[in-house]
């Protein structure tokens, strides 16, 4: 079994009951085909960078699961023909990273290290050539 992450952008006017039903249906697709749901998250309503289907905002949902191709086909079919879904994307991820909870975002540099390296460059006098 492989590990996948699915991010869904739903219509901003979607009710709380509809969003719960959507997440429940996605989890049901995973479990009926002997997959396991690792993580589900609601990221809430956010402003879109560009208009999608005449909408400026969208509700974001995240699902991380272990599964097979049949699960991907069912999820794709369910999301493609749902009018409340603006966009979605499923990515295959390294299972060790998903189990560790690291996600797909790269680690950011610590602010102290960044300030120290910048400060060293400014404090040191320029080298003179002879």
* 66-118 pLDDT per residue, tens: 999 999 999 999 999 999 999 999 999 986 665 666 544 444 444 444 444 44
Report pLDDT for 72: 92
Is residue 120's pLDDT more than 70? no
For residue 45, which of 10, 72, 20, 17 has the smallest C-alpha distance?
A: 10
> How large is the average pLDDT for residues 124-130?
55
Tens of pLDDT along 25-47? 999 999 998 899 999 999 999 99
**What residue spans define the domains of the chain?**
2-122
Q: Per-residue confidence at 1, pLDDT binned at 50, 70, 90?
A: confident
Report pLDDT for 107: 41
Report pLDDT for 115: 47
Q: Per-residue confidence at 121, pLDDT binned at 50, 70, 90?
A: very low
Question: Contact at 8 Å (CB) between 53 and 86?
Answer: yes
Q: Under CATH, domain 2-122 is a member of which superfamily?
A: Ribosomal protein S6/Translation elongation factor EF1B (3.30.70.60)
Secondary structure (3-state) at 44: strand
């Amino acid at each position: 079994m492989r590990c996948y992450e699915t991010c869904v952008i739903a219509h901003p006017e979607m009710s709380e009951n509809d969003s719960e039903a959507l997440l429940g249906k996605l989890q049901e697709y995973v479990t009926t085909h002997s997959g396991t749901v690792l993580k589900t998250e609601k990221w809430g309503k956010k402003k879109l960078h560009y208009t999608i289907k005449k909408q400026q905002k969208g509700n974001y949902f995240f699902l991380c699961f272990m599964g097979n191709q049949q699960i991907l086909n069912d999820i794709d079919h369910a999301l493609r023909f749902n009018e409340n879904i603006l966009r979605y994307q499923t990515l295959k991820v390294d299972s060790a990273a998903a189990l560790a909870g690291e996600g797909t975002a790269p680690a950011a540099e610590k602010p102290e290290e960044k300030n120290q390296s910048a400060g060293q460059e400014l404090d040191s006098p320029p080298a003179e050539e002879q």
